Amino acid sequence: MAKALSKEEMPALDQKDLEILKLLQQNARMTIKEISEKVHLSTTPVHERIKRMEESGVIKQYVTLLNASKVGKGLMVICYVSLKQHSKNAGEKFIKGILEMTEVLECLTISGEFDFMLKVVVADMDEYYNFHVNKLSNLENVGNVQSVFVMGVVKMTQQLV
């Protein structure tokens, strides 16, 4: 599980770094030359800044975002899961099982009535039923699952800055 970085561990980012990050979040295929023109720096400092942010972990990876419905994954479900037991070993087994499920895009540990929140994307209700009954509910130590079906997405972004 990710832990919060202390102020000492967080890389120092100046305004130019933030501008570069914003541009890359909008279009990760943007060239160094295009970025340098927009942030008013030459290509060498832009390249060095990006390399530094990659090496320090500020930039984790470059990805392509897909339209779920156009790749046959039109049903999004938020699943709230509570475990029967709350030992470290039981939690680790649950997490290991979730990490193997391609239907699960996100798994968050949460506070409150449930222990985990899953973002699940599948083709349709039949596929979700199969996932729920034959995969999720078969994981050892799953106590209660509450499914919430997403009717529409108002906002979905990965942009942090």
**Domain 15-55 in this protein, CATH class:** mainly alpha
Domain range list for the chain: 15-55, 68-149
The two domains 15-55 and 68-149 share their CATH topology (first three levels equal):
no
Please state which CATH class domain 68-149 belongs to: alpha beta
Q: What is the pLDDT of residues 5-55, one digit of tens each?
A: 565 577 899 999 999 999 999 999 999 999 999 999 999 999 999 999 999
pTM of the model: 0.85
Q: Is the pLDDT of residue 2 over 60?
A: no
Q: State the residue for tokens 């899961």.
A: 81
pLDDT in tens, 71-121: 999 999 999 999 999 889 989 999 999 999 999 999 999 999 999 999 999
Per-residue pLDDT, 134: 97
